[in-house]
């Protein structure tokens, strides 16, 4: 049996998870939450991670009922993500690996999401929609790579939602996206917003600029409610994502869709994707907030796959990078 511990901290979540041969033994997590109207700064986020990471590590080992001697490999998020939080987590992972005398493994954050989704849902060879605060990509596996068929050309869909939440002062607890989703359920009027699909790619910056400028005018004049704006924004951006995912499915001849990443928890996105899949006779796979949102177990699972196929990161190569594309990693464990 191979036991891998994974450290994740690329954004405002700090998580440590332990996987043993496909079984999640523990997966504790903490979130850095800022006041309404504010985002999270890299330095403040790193400070939060430093303050809680050892507590989370202790929790992970206790919940799994394991000792350091039982761990076979230490995996950490190499990138992409925010520099300061990534460095904080990598530093602890490196230290732990040396103290425990275990091999170290740098994991691509995006591949962590994909491998966790595949493990939990048992999807075979899906077209993957990866949607989060920092990434928006449509991905399919071919010849030892996760190929990117389409992506955002500017900001990620989660970033668009988060920044809109700041404009109308929606709470960041538990997350802006979750609160937008709840408000959108009460919206009844659709406000037309720019719809920007460019071939296989999408753009969210224009929608954000439009709604940032229009929101306060429309709300103060009574043209619509905050709930109507949340509803309209969700419907527009999710329709764009469904469109490019369907196009990638048609290209690949795929009959499966897997939604991963923090925005993948959104039940309205899952519902819209489900309608498209039903029309195509395809199957939709998604997970809940335990595994969609950044967590340590996803890094452990990707690390487990990589470690068993022969990957190890030498100490001198255990740096981090804010830019680390999904298709840069050779996927040696799938064939």
Structure token digits, residue 191: 């406000």
Q: Is 112 annotated as a binding residue?
A: no
- Interatomic CA distance for residues 112 and 288, integer angstroms: 15
DSSP-H helix ranges across the chain: 42-64, 83-100, 109-121, 157-167, 176-184, 205-221, 226-252, 267-280, 289-292, 296-308
Q: Cα-flanking dihedrals φ and ψ of residue 150, to 5°?
A: -160, 155
Q: Is 181 annotated as a binding residue?
A: yes
Q: Is 294 annotated as a binding residue?
A: yes
Strand partners, 202: 152, 197
Nearest alpha carbon to residue 139 among 165, 110, 116, 96: 110
Q: Answer for the pair 81, 39: CB distance below 8 angstroms, yes or no.
A: no
Q: Is 175 annotated as a binding residue?
A: no
- Interatomic CA distance for residues 257 and 266, integer angstroms: 15
Q: Is 130 annotated as a binding residue?
A: yes
Q: Answer for the pair 284, 261: CB distance below 8 angstroms, yes or no.
A: no
Nearest alpha carbon to residue 157 among 126, 127, 180: 180
Q: Is 32 annotated as a binding residue?
A: no
Q: Answer for the pair 331, 89: CB distance below 8 angstroms, yes or no.
A: no
Q: Is 206 annotated as a binding residue?
A: no
Q: Is 324 annotated as a binding residue?
A: no
Q: Is 266 annotated as a binding residue?
A: yes
Count of CB atoms within 10 A of residue 180's CB? Answer: 24
Q: Is 264 annotated as a binding residue?
A: no
DSSP-H helix ranges across 2-108: 42-64, 83-100
DSSP state of 39: -
> Binding site for substrate, residues?
130-134, 162, 177, 181, 266
> Binding site for a divalent metal cation, residues?
109, 113, 130, 294
> Binding site, residues?
109, 113, 130-134, 162, 177, 181, 266, 294
């Amino acid at each position: 049996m191979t036991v891998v511990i994974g450290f994740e901290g690329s954004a405002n979540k700090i998580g440590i998870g332990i996987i043993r041969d496909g079984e999640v033994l523990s997966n504790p997590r903490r979130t850095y939450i800022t006041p309404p109207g504010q985002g999270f700064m890299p330095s403040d986020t790193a400070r939060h991670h430093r303050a809680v990471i050892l507590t989370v590590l202790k929790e992970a080992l206790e919940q799994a009922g394991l000792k350091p001697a039982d761990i076979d490999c230490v995996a950490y998020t190499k990138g992409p993500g925010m520099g300061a939080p990534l460095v904080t987590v990598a530093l602890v992972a490196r230290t732990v690996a040396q103290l425990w005398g275990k091999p170290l493994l740098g994991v691509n954050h995006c591949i962590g999401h994909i491998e966790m989704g595949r493990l939990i849902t048992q999807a075979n060879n899906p077209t993957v929609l990866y949607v989060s605060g920092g990434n928006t990509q449509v991905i399919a596996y071919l010849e030892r790579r996760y190929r990117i068929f389409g992506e955002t050309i500017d900001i990620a869909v989660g970033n668009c939602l988060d920044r809109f939440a700041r404009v109308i002062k929606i709470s960041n607890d538990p997350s802006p996206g979750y609160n937008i989703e709840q408000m959108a359920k009460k919206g009844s009027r659709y406000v037309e917003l720019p719809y920007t699909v460019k071939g296989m790619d999408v753009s969210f910056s224009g929608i954000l600029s439009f709604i940032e400028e229009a929101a306060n005018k429309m709300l103060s004049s009574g043209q619509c409610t905050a709930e109507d704006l949340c509803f309209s924004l969700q419907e527009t951006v999710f329709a764009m994502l469904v469109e490019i995912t369907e196009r990638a499915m048609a290209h690949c001849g795929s009959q499966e869709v897997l939604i991963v990443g923090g925005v993948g928890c959104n039940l309205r996105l899952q519902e819209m994707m489900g309608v498209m899949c039903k029309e195509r006779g395809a199957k939709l796979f998604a997970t809940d907030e335990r595994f969609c949102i950044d967590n340590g177990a996803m890094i452990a699972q990707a690390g487990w796959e990589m470690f068993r196929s022969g990957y190890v990161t030498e100490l001198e190569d255990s740096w981090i990078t804010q830019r680390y594309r999904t298709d840069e990693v050779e996927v040696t464990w799938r064939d």
